[in-house]
Structure formats: structure tokens, C-alpha cells
Structure 1
Amino acid sequence: MIMQQVRDTRQRIKYAFLTVTAAIAVSAAASGTASAQAPTYVDAQKPGGTVKLYSAPDIKSSAIDAPTLPLLVQGASQHDFYPVKVDGKPYWVDGMDVKVVRSAQARCSQSAGIQAAGTLGAAANRCQ
């Protein structure tokens, strides 16, 4: 009986520790991405392709072809459409018709150096 209570207490402590650790990790990740958010662009899915610009975030609204690519995303997406501006006018781009390009870069004073394929988190864009 006492051994069962000890096991139950250990499981509760372990669960509480894992919950707190996960909450701290999510909080740190959210604050890190919010402060260093890189610009997001949309481009044609294939080289030389076109992108349709809509007047509202739906495919039923009027559409024209974008004169230049890539286009800078100007806010949060709605209904899988990205807001962009062309010649100072707001338009929407269908997320299913474009390639989203995010130029995220690590910002650190010292690079991680050479990485092996088996190294956890190996990437050229990584800090030490």
C-alpha cells in the first residue's frame, strides 16, 4: 500500500515537472519568434509562372496578374489568402497558388562550425 502511494506520488511529480518544462519551452519559443520575425514573401510556384491578385480573400472576387514577383506579405493570412500590396493598393494572394518564402537567419556571434549529418540539429544556419 505504501509502495503504491510512493509510485503514484513519483508519477505525479514527474508529470508536473514535464508540464512545467513544456510550458516554459513553448513560452520561450513564442517570445523568440515574435521578436525576430523575418519578412515573408510569396512567389510563383514555378519559375516564370504568374500569381493572381484578388480584391478580397476569396477566389470569387476580381483577379489580375501580379506585375512583379516576389511579393511581400503585409499581414496575417485569412482563409488561406495572404495580404500583399502592389502599387500601394491592397490585394490578396491564394495560398494554394503560391510558394511562401521565409528568409529566417540565425543571429549569433559565433557559428556552430562544421556539422556532421548525425549531429542533432545540424544545419549551416545554426549558432553554437
Structure 2
Amino acid sequence: MSDTAATREERFASGMAVLDAMHDASGHGVIESLADIAPELGHQIVAWGYGDILSRPGLDPQQRELVTLGLLTAMGGAEAQLEVHIAASLNVGLTPEQIIEVFLQSSVYCGFPRALNAVGAARRVFAEHGLLPLPEA
């Protein structure tokens, strides 16, 4: 390791600062839920995912969340993670209408079932945040 390489603890602290800035309790709950079974996975999500990747300067937090929403929608089967990132998207300043627009565009590339599942996840998060019903476009 070079003199400029961050320590394991520094990478985790850096990642936790990014996680704190983006997520509410749901994002932190994911890490906490791993403490008794896969603490190293939780550490890597914070240190590598947030500390090394999401902290990079190439995209702002809103752009990163737009990408994440599209990818999780395309993957399918990741609705729990999608809910966490829908909440994070709201936290970094995306509007509910922008989030729904991601799912509308996703329907063209990954199909209506995955877009519908994503909208269902959004419905749950928006309801928790008191954002329903959305105004008509």
C-alpha cells in the first residue's frame, strides 16, 4: 500500500459521510441489518460502494441516483434496494415526477413489468413521505 492509499478505516469513514449525505434511516438500516450476519459486506458497501465509487467527482448525487434507479429497474428483483434509492433520490433533491420519468423511460428498454414493479416501489416510498397523490402531468 502506498503512502497515499487510504486505510480501511479512512475508506469506511469517507463512505459513511457520503451515505449520511444521501440516505435517511432506510439506507443506514441496510448496513445495520448486516451487522450480525455479514458485517464485512456492510463494510464493503460503505467503504467501496460509497467511499470509493459514489464519492467520485464525475457525477453529482442526483445524476448518480438517476443511474441507480434505472439500473435497479432494469435488473428486476431488486425492489427492496430500489425503495432505498428512491428515498435517497428524494433526499438529494430529485422530484417524484423525475423519479417516475425514470421508470417511464425504463419501460421502453426493460419492459412494462419491471417498470410497474419500480412504480410500485415508488408508491410505497412516496406514501411514507406523504407525497401521494402526484399531480397530473
- Per the shorter chain, which TM-score range? under 0.3
**TM-score, normalising length from structure 2?**
0.22
TM-score by length of 1: 0.23
Q: RCO higher in 1 or 2 (8 Å CA, sep ≥ 6)? A: 2
